[in-house]
Amino acid sequence: MQAMVFDKPGSPLRLVTMAVPEPYPTQVLVKITACGVCRTDLHVIDGELPHPKLPLVPGHEIVGTVVRTGKNVISLKQGDVIGIPWLGYTCGVCRYCLRQQENLCEKALFTGYTMDGGYAEYTVAYEQFCFSLAAQYAGPEGTPLLCAGLIGYRSYVMTGSNVRRLGIYGFGAAAHILIQVARHQGVEVYAFTRDGDKGSQDFALRMGATWAGDASARPPEVLDAAIIFAPAGELVPSALQSVDKGGVVVCGGIHMSDIPSFPYRLLWEERVIRSVANLTRKDGHDFLQLAPAVAIRTETQHFSLSQANEALDALRKGRIKGAAVLVM
Ligand SMILES: [Zn+2]
Ligand SMILES: [Zn+2]
């Protein structure tokens, strides 16, 4: 099969021909239809996340078809269309797994980071960590749901239940999905983009944002909560300044530049800063059930497998409206 392989930080991915992987007894072999390109892939490739598997096939927003099942696979069969997310495996017995926090599992494996992922024609995945997909998400347009959508949804849930005005910092793949959920629930969205990025601000307004502006600006209304998807630590004090008493600021990314110091009064009055790490399978089931009910539509920009470096570069430069997807 063909795959794009990451060898070391600083060098571009390499197109290689390699053996199709063999599934373990509890895994399925999947022929990949498409794989989304996520900002986390950039963090892996830039060496910002420790100890990736090397060499590595990146990619963790995979839609594909089961072509073979390991001998202990129960619920999936040949021909099933499935989604493979970032969370690839958990141990089931550590203290986090036992208290419904498998996203923090000590022995977790992550697709396209500590296991090979979806920048390839085939991959293997543990049956228990695959999701079935509604028919409308069985192609490239389904891929962004599997990380951008899921992590966005987990972040959204973490903002609490009293949110009427939500700030979103960074209007990329996650935000363009999340805004549809928020609007569906009657929540107003205030979108913050890189300063002067009119294109993304127009995109946010088109997607239903009440207001869109520069990340350095103050919103016209005080916000009940904010989610930061952009990997820029300086947005944290900014977001705190824009949220009401008791408001939550959720950092939704896996990596962020350093957060500058700020006066205690920005945190005072029970404002909360928190991060969101990975996902649980419950998040996946909840969100993928909600997606067709909200009728979430994704905007995708397609690249071929061998164009993975170009897709990553476009994402890095903020040139993708919606989500970049490799279509095999
Ligand atoms: Zn565990
Ligand atoms: Zn991701």
Distance, CA 327 to ligand 1 centroid (Å)?
Answer: 33
Instruction: Specify the pLDDT at position 321.
Output: 86
Joined together, the tokens standing for residue 184 give 């569906």
State whether the Cα torsion 135-140-146-150 is positive or negative: negative
Instruction: Specify the pLDDT at position 78.
Output: 98
Distance, CA 103 to ligand 1 centroid (Å)?
Answer: 8
Taking the CA atoms of residue 12, residue 13, residue 17 and residue 20 in that order, the dihedral angle to the nearest 10 degrees is 160
| Residue linked to tokens 């979806």 | 118
CA 222 vs CA 31, 189, 219: distances in Å: 48, 12, 7
Mean of the per-residue pLDDT values of the chain: 97
Q: What angle do CA 34, 35, 41 make, to 5 degrees?
A: 165
Q: How confident is the model at residue 10 (pLDDT cuts 50, 70, 90)?
A: confident
Question: Whose atoms come closest to the Cα of 152: which ligand?
Answer: 2
User: Span 219-225, mean pLDDT?
Assistant: 98
Distance, CA 280 to ligand 1 centroid (Å)?
Answer: 11
Distance, CA 268 to ligand 1 centroid (Å)?
Answer: 35
User: Span 28-41, mean pLDDT?
Assistant: 97
Distance, CA 86 to ligand 2 centroid (Å)?
Answer: 7
Question: Whose atoms come closest to the Cα of 58: which ligand?
Answer: 2
Fold classified for 2-132+298-327 = Quinone Oxidoreductase; Chain A, domain 1 (3.90.180)
Q: What proportion of the chain, given as a percentage, has pLDDT over 90?
A: 98
Distance, CA 134 to ligand 2 centroid (Å)?
Answer: 20
Distance, CA 109 to ligand 1 centroid (Å)?
Answer: 10
Question: Whose atoms come closest to the Cα of 255: which ligand?
Answer: 2
Q: Where are the domains of the chain?
A: 2-132+298-327, 150-275
Distance, CA 88 to ligand 1 centroid (Å)?
Answer: 12
State the Cα–Cα distance between residues 67 and 195, nearest whole angstrom: 47
Residues lying with their CB under 5 A of ligand 2, a single-atom ion: 38, 40, 147
Question: Whose atoms come closest to the Cα of 104: which ligand?
Answer: 1
| Residue linked to tokens 């069985």 | 138
Question: Whose atoms come closest to the Cα of 95: which ligand?
Answer: 1
Distance, CA 270 to ligand 2 centroid (Å)?
Answer: 30
Instruction: Specify the pLDDT at position 146.
Output: 97
How far is CA 173 from its chain centroid? 8
User: Span 88-100, mean pLDDT?
Assistant: 97
Q: State the DSSP H helix or E strand holding residue 69, giving kind and residue range, or none if neither.
A: strand 62-69
Instruction: Specify the pLDDT at position 147.
Output: 96
Distance, CA 159 to ligand 1 centroid (Å)?
Answer: 25
Q: How confident is the model at residue 63 (pLDDT cuts 50, 70, 90)?
A: very high
Distance, CA 323 to ligand 2 centroid (Å)?
Answer: 11
Q: How confident is the model at residue 161 (pLDDT cuts 50, 70, 90)?
A: confident
The CATH classification of domain 150-275, taken from the options 3.30.1280.10, 3.40.50.10490, 3.40.50.300, 3.40.50.720: 3.40.50.720
